[in-house]
Amino acid sequence: MTGEEKIKALHEFGNILSQKDSKLQEILTKTEMHNTWFTQFHLDLSLQTFIENYFNKDKINRWIENYTIGEEKQKWVGLILAGNIPFVGMHDIISVLMSGNRAKIKLSSKDTFFFPYMFEKLCDIDKGFENKIEFVERLENFDAIIATGSNNSARYFEYYFGKYPHIIRRNRTSVAILTGDETEKQLYDLGKDVFYYYGLGCRNVSKIYMPSTFEAEKLFRIWEDYRYVIDNNKYKNNYD
């Protein structure tokens, strides 16, 4: 497949996501039932991010124009996907495909339904994808690996996969630094970084540095709209 063919197919898949047909809605419902961290709101949030960025033809072209992509390499890249937020392995999958390689994917047990659906739809759009992705329970016969997990699991990844070309990601989180000059809109949007996905993403803010004169109560008032997180039993159990 050429890069242009892949971009066209990804763009068409984005259109399918936008329409949210009955099959996709079934996948989302099953996903939420299987993992109650993945609420419909956050599933829709992830999908909208993909539609606007990952499956936007112009944005994909701007992304790949920074790289020299030659002939199809047809190397197998093993992907061990995380399950902390919905469909979090999307960028890794698209990167492997756009670089001319193939992906052997070990799904997270927390997120098992969407990516097989995506692969099925991509194959419907272009049969060229049929030999590009495999879903496996055990990773074997690969040329390189990208693995994402906890600090503990990363130790095992290093042990088992260290001899291969690899990217191994560990626990990460983000911090925010306030000057005290932020507008209420900026502080409100900071709440998204704190509360979206219940704070489980590596880009979620888990620590805030603020001037000693900053009134923390101001944040509680501005963040009132995010109180919905307490309605999730899993979140509430950790909060308590």
Q: What is the pLDDT of residue 70?
A: 65
Shared-domain flag, residues 207 and 125: no
Q: For residues 16 and 121, is the Cβ–Cβ distance under 8 A?
A: yes
Mean of per-residue pLDDT scores for the chain? 94
Shared-domain flag, residues 22 and 132: yes
Q: What is the pLDDT of residues 45-92, one digit of tens each?
A: 999 999 999 999 999 999 998 888 766 678 999 999 999 999 999 999
Q: What is the pLDDT of residue 182?
A: 96
Distances from the Cα of 118 to the Cα of 170, 196, 228, 240, angstroms: 26, 24, 30, 37
Shared-domain flag, residues 212 and 126: no
Shared-domain flag, residues 104 and 15: yes
Range of the domain at 202: 174-239
Shared-domain flag, residues 200 and 118: no
Q: Could you say which of 169, 203, 226 is where a domain stops?
A: 169
- 151, pLDDT greater than 70: yes
- 239, pLDDT greater than 80: no
Q: What is the pLDDT of residue 117?
A: 97
Q: Could you say which of 169, 196, 227 is where a domain stops?
A: 169
Shared-domain flag, residues 191 and 157: no
Under the banding of pLDDT at 50, 70 and 90, the label for residue 237 is confident
Residue 96's contacts (CB-CB under 8 Å, 6 or more residues apart) are: 77, 79, 102, 103, 146
Shared-domain flag, residues 112 and 148: yes
- Structure tokens belonging to residue 48: 């909208």
Mean pLDDT of 168-184: 94
Shared-domain flag, residues 160 and 184: no
Cα dihedral value 60, 64, 66, 70, nearest 10:
-170
Q: What is the pLDDT of residue 162?
A: 92
Under the banding of pLDDT at 50, 70 and 90, the label for residue 169 is very high
Pick from 94, 110, 121, 95: nearest CA to 42: 110
User: pLDDT exceeding 90 applies to what percent of the chain?
Assistant: 85
Q: For residues 79 and 93, is the Cβ–Cβ distance under 8 A?
A: yes
Q: What is the pLDDT of residues 81-105, one digit of tens each?
A: 999 999 999 999 999 999 999 999 9
**Structural domain total, the chain:** 2
Angle between helices 3-19 and 57-64 (to 10 degrees): 140
Q: What is the pLDDT of residue 240?
A: 64
Q: What is the pLDDT of residue 74?
A: 83
Shared-domain flag, residues 23 and 74: yes
| CATH classification of the domain holding 130 | 3.40.605.10
Q: What is the pLDDT of residue 72?
A: 65
Shared-domain flag, residues 15 and 117: yes
Under the banding of pLDDT at 50, 70 and 90, the label for residue 43 is very high
Q: What is the pLDDT of residues 187-235, one digit of tens each?
A: 999 999 999 999 999 999 999 999 999 999 999 999 999 999 999 988 8
Shared-domain flag, residues 200 and 128: no
Shared-domain flag, residues 164 and 184: no
Q: What is the pLDDT of residue 2?
A: 86
Q: Could you say which of 136, 169, 202 is where a domain stops?
A: 169
